Amino acid sequence: MSFSTLGLSEKVLAAVEASGYTEPTAIQAGAIPYVLERRDVLGIAQTGTGKTASFTLPMITLLEKGRARARMPRTLILEPTRELAAQVEDNFNRYGVNHKLNVALLIGGVSFAEQDRKLERGADVLIATPGRLLDHFERGKLLLQGVDILVIDEADRMLDMGFIPDIERICKLIPFTRQTLFFSATMPSEIQRLTDTFLQNPAKVEVAKASTTADTVTQRIAAAEPEDYEKRAKLRELIEGAEDLQNAIVFCNRKRDVATLFRSLVRHEFSVGALHGDMDQRSRMTMLDNFKKGNIKILVASDVAARGLDIPSVSHVFNFDLPIQAEDYVHRIGRTGRAGRDGTAISIVTGKDEKALQAINETIGKELEWVGEPVDFSAPVEEKKSRRRSTRGQKDKNRSRKSKAEAQEAPVQEADSVPAGLEEQPMVPMHTERRAPARARGGRRTNQPKDEAIFRNASHIPAFLLRETRSKVQSR
């Protein structure tokens, strides 16, 4: 199978070849001919299957005829998150090198001015998250009656995020004569209803569901005490003990925990970045970019990074917290072991996680194996105080199990406290212009890092990367 048999234009084929691709993936081979025939397409595919190129390549081919008019984009692609939208833009830039496409990215968190300019100039391709798109529409800056191709990507995720009413509204604003390409990893009933309403005689292209537990991913769980500082110590131990760690994503359930953990790892001189939805857009983009380029080895992230992000090779995934929804576990560990590469996923489990762990084991259809000693779920997991009173023996046993180094490690910073000198610090992330602790400024090191790639002085991180959202709000 080769790209040349799919009906793509010469210019597109040249760009694909220049990118080094020779063989289409299953979803590309299945969907591209239908798109070029102007059929509606229902694509059922996970991320990491080459889904994006399955619509961008034929779209670029189709866009060769005709030209955009001011404020009337010719095509519209809806994405659930800003990062995914930006990723699709990258895709158009890469495969559209031989074309003069006007591509406009309409996402929140950035100024309207440039987006307006691009709309005014006439966009061949409009890539948007629903909120910002509707915002532009309501301001009258955008006319949707010229849209010829509508792409709805990651529909099931849009559903999870409550975007379906917005999607329905947008669909109704676009002429009935359009071509619609609809992608979803799963087909829950609400999504089925949506496709029944908005697709006309679609060609259904389904690619085998990537097995939830890719054989190339080694999955393990590691026990820790439930206190945050204990979990952070365990995480450092896991990172330092990891074999062949090239780069890693560390998932936390909550944004504030992303922030706290990020600061803690900076203090411990890891090469680390953070990513969550409350960070300003510029930081989000730069963090992700630096992580992709390898400037940052460890990315602490919320579930904003769990799905869809195209980070080609992550050697390790760590779950600082077990995800609340077992399904999210699958998405998180799907960040590693991609494209047949080896990957390792290690999750920290505490006495409070019994139910979450059960749910995950059920979802993946096997029992996760422990590294080190397992958590004793039969032990009471009430508040620490009551446990101390009721089961002193158990507690002492736990303490003696801890290594000396761990025991000596004072709580780096409790979730609710801040290290000295950073009292006024915002949640996320640390601001380097304030005085960081001596170690983070490259001062005396108490323990010599053994791996230069994973450990690094934090002082190189550009200040704007470490700025938090509130400054933006204050400046208004």
What is the C-alpha to C-alpha distance for residues 190 and 163, in angstroms, rounded to an integer?
12
Alpha-carbon distance 217 to 230, whole Å? 26
By CB under 7 A, is residue 331 in contact with DNA?
A: no
* Triad 370, 375, 378: Cα angle to 5°: 135
Beta carbons within 8 Å of 464's beta carbon, 6+ residues apart: 282, 283, 286
Window 145-184: contact mask with DNA (x via CB under 7 A): ---------------xxxx---------------------
Judge whether 347 and 370 are in contact, CB under 8 Å: no
Nearer to DNA, 61 or 81 (CB): 81
State which H helix or E strand residue 431 sits in: none
Out of 82, 297, 335, 338, point to the residue binding DNA (CB under 7 A). Answer: 82
Please, what is the minimum distance in Å from the beta carbon of residue 333 to DNA?
15
Contact residue for DNA among 18, 70, 208, 324 (CB under 7 A):
324
Under the binding rule (CB under 7 A), the answer on residue 325 touching DNA is yes
Residue 109 touching DNA (CB under 7 A): yes
In the block, residue with structure tokens 């450990």: 455
Stretch that binds DNA, among 68-76, 97-105, 252-260, 376-384 (CB under 7 A): 252-260
Of residues 71, 267, 268, 276, which one binds DNA by CB under 7 A? 276
If binding is defined by CB under 7 A, does position 138 make contact with DNA? yes
CB 123, CB 102: distance < 8 Å: yes
- Give which of 375, 372, 329 is closest to 352, Cα–Cα: 375
Q: How far apart are CA 151 and CA 469, in angstroms?
A: 31
- Is 302 a residue that touches DNA (CB under 7 A)? yes
**What sign has the CA pseudo-torsion 404, 357, 249, 246?**
positive
Question: Which residue blocks in 174-212 are alpha helix, DSSP H?
Answer: 189-198
Among 39, 220, 256, 431, binds DNA (CB under 7 A): 256
Binding residue for DNA, selected from 21, 90, 98, 131, defined by CB under 7 A: 131
What's the token pair of residue 354?
């019994």
- Which stretch in 43-51, 184-192, 321-329, 405-413 sits in contact with DNA by CB under 7 A? 321-329
Q: Nearest 5°: phi and psi at 298?
A: -125, 130
Interface with DNA, residue 303, by CB under 7 A: yes
Binds DNA (CB under 7 A): choice among 148, 225, 328, 468:
328
Q: Which of 45, 5, 43 is nearest to 22 (CA)?
A: 5
Residue 3 DSSP class: G
Q: What is the closest distance, in whole angstroms, from the C-beta atom of residue 62 to DNA in the complex? A: 26
Q: How many chain residues bind DNA (CB under 7 A)? A: 40
Under rule CB under 7 A, residue 304 binds DNA:
yes
80 binds DNA per the rule CB under 7 A = yes
**In the complex with DNA, which residue's Cβ is closer, 144 or 436?**
144
Q: Which residues bind DNA (CB under 7 A)?
A: 80-83, 107-110, 128-135, 138, 160-163, 253-256, 276-278, 302-304, 321, 323-325, 328, 352-353, 355-356
